[in-house]
């Protein structure tokens, strides 16, 4: 049986040129689903399995679980900045260094799962409250350039599925499912 690419099990993110209302609704539904899908992917994993890298040289499942809310809390703040300011320049963070902090390498995943639950509930409420015209608003990333809220939604709809798929692909390869 052929297994998906361990780094990009659902493929690389392809930024959309334009986003329709139906596509935006799909992205929001995907973002809303991330906490439950991630929880389902890790719910019966032992500590040993949580400390298994999802690929050789990659983060452990535990680090991936902690990374998702780290990344998404930054995305939530960027979303709010773009919704309330004129093309603000956001501050990036070094996700690799964050993943090496002791709490990300050894901390209980329940904390990050709970954070992700609350964060996504609040973020999805904020997204759904905005009028359609607001999704053309944007922020400026110092390295990546200008990103509209529509583009950010597409990216984070992919991001949550991407990392969850890394975990479920590992479980499938290892026969844990």
Go through the domains of the chain in sequence order and give each one's CATH number: 21-174 (1.20.120.450)
CA 60 to CA 100: how far, in whole Å? 11
State pLDDT tens for residues 95-145.
999 999 999 999 999 999 999 999 999 999 999 999 999 999 999 999 999
Confidence of residue 4 (pLDDT cuts 50, 70, 90): confident
Q: How far is CA 24 from the centre of its chain?
A: 16
Given phi > 0 = left and psi -120 to 50 = alpha, else beta, which region is 135? alpha
Mean pLDDT for the stretch of residues 159-174: 97
Give the per-residue pLDDT at 177.
Answer: 75
- Maximum separation of any 2 CA atoms in the chain, in Å: 50
Could you read off the pLDDT of 24-59 as tens digits, one per residue? 999 999 999 999 999 999 999 999 999 999 999 999
At 10, give phi and psi (nearest 5°): -110, 10
Judge whether residue 22 has pLDDT over 70: yes
CA distance 18 to 36: 28
Q: Which residues pair with 148 in a beta bridge?
A: 138
pTM of the model: 0.96
């Amino acid at each position: 049986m052929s297994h998906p690419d361990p780094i990009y099990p659902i493929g690389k993110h392809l930024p959309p040129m334009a986003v329709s209302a139906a596509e935006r609704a799909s992205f929001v539904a995907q973002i809303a689903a991330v906490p439950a899908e991630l929880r389902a992917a890790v719910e019966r994993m032992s500590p040993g399995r949580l400390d298994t890298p999802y690929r050789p040289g990659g983060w452990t499942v535990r680090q991936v679980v902690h990374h998702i809310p780290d990344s998404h809390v930054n995305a939530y703040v960027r979303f709010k900045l773009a919704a309330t300011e004129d093309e603000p320049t956001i501050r990036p963070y070094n996700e690799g260094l964050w993943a090496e902090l002791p709490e990300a390498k050894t901390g209980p995943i329940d904390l990050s799962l709970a954070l992700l639950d609350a964060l996504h509930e609040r973020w999805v409420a904020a997204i759904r409250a905005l009028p359609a015209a607001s999704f053309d608003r944007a922020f400026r990333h110092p390295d990546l350039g200008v990103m509209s809220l529509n583009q950010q939604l597409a990216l984070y709809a992919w991001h949550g599925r991407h990392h969850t798929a890394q975990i479920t692909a590992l479980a499938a390869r290892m026969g844990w499912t």
